[in-house]
Amino acid sequence: MMYVSDELNEECGVFGVCLSTALEQPGIYIPFNNEAAGITYNALLSLQHRGQEGAGIAAILGNKIVCHKERGLVTEVFANGNLAKLPQSNCAIGHTHYSTNGTSSNEDVSPFVTEFLTGRVAVSLSGCITNAKELRDTLTSSGLDFNTTSDCEVVSALVAYCMMRVGNELQAVVRAANELKGAFSIVVLCNDGKLIAVRDPYGYRPLCIGKNESGMAVASESCAVECCGFEFVRDVAPGEVVVIEDGKIIFSGIELKQNNERNINGGLCIFEYVYFARLDSIIDGLSVYSARFNMGRTLAKEYPIEADIVCGIPDASREIARGYSVESGIRLVPGFVLNRYVGRSFIYPTQAQREEAVRVKLNPLSVNVKDKRVVLIDDSLVRGTSTIHAVASLRSAGAKEVHLLISSPSTRFACNHGMKIGDKEALANTMTTEEICKKVGADSLGYISLEGLKAACGKCAVPFCDHCFTGNGVSS
């Protein structure tokens, strides 16, 4: 995942679970003991929106780690008995995958298992390691071999390399993570049953902790731990390392140092709230639902429009449209029927595939939009592929006017931590707002202000990165 592409990339999803072994003690019953792989499978279903090109699960078997991973959706990867083939275990990690260059293979999918002289580790990574090539070259010169182009393979090899030299697993993971530059959330499975979770020192990628009577789990989003029966406890703090063993946290602390090089732009990616995260997640103290609802209210204040109805392009924009409706008093109606069996269109590796996916994904509800002045809400406008289709379909369904509002500022700058858009791919870099409005076929076009977006996400407990809008680093 280290090579720059023209894709607007998804974030990947990671999950790990460590259950108590108390079932082995007479008279003590812990539900779900030894069902870590099945719990991980359910969690990956909840994280499917973060990556739809591949999935994998690694689980403990004795002192070994067994892993199954393939390209495809979670249900496809673990069909035909593949889930049942994983060992009954109290500890497992999982991953939902996207590729950045459109050439993903089964080998590129995580988790990655690395063997070394005294053990094994499996690693799942959500992130972009900007010094992955340098680390790969260093490890190769030390005798390590690599089979893929994945950053996660580099991280897994680096962790194993440090374990051979340090011995202590916590110290090894801390040493390895402090060598990484970029943005990352990492879950490490050790063959002795320890689970180690790491969040980069800028907190760019989300990571949280859940707990129930059976043990503990970590995940990219709180929706994943809650859907598996764990109570959301808290977010992993930026720079924090958490070690879980036998279903309990045995260590947690801020162990990672910030790298203050100029090319490091820190802070939680604000697109988590705009688009990436699931609506029922809480990230760094802020409900994704609340953030999107507030974005809609802000848009209504910044762009009061005389219209008959307001609708959002499914799915992320629906609650934004609801907020606009509440603030403006304009009636909220569904404007489209969403084909849920078509994935997020930007994940497709070619423009032709993206356009074809958009055509079959959204169909307008003409009964709601015919002869109406429509306020249409979308979460972002980069290439305009889905937006052009949405506006045109409303026109064909009989809408009199279509006023397009975007709940993120104009997206212009590539971010080497995940938002990898080519300069010529972003319409805002080659056209004025008026020209973009004409291209997408709308009667008017407005973007939320950066100040308005900050205010909508104002209860986030950490700074966030707005580099893709401003070219700057952290915004507080």
Residues taking part in catalysis: 12
Is residue 335 within 8 A of residue 322, CB to CB? The reply is no
SS3 state of residue 431: coil
Comparing C-alpha atoms, which of 258, 269, 291 is closest to residue 204?
269
Q: Quote the CA–CA distance of 290 and 15 in Å, as a whole number.
A: 24
C-beta separation of 217 from 230 below 8 A: yes
- Strand 444-447 to 401-406 pairing: parallel
Residue at 84: amino acid letter: A
Distance CA 155, CA 113 (A): 10
At residue 64, the 3 state secondary structure works out as strand
- State the Cα–Cα distance between residues 22 and 203, nearest whole angstrom: 34
Residue with tokens 């409900």: 287
Residue 366, H or E segment = helix 366-369
User: Which of 380, 333, 385 lies closest to 355, judged by CA?
Assistant: 385
CA distances from 255 to 237, 238, 240 (A): 10, 10, 6
Among the residues of 332-462, which ranges form H helices? 351-361, 366-369, 385-396, 433-440, 450-456
The answer to whether the beta carbons of residues 375 and 326 sit under 8 Å apart is no
- Cis before 315? omega within 30: yes
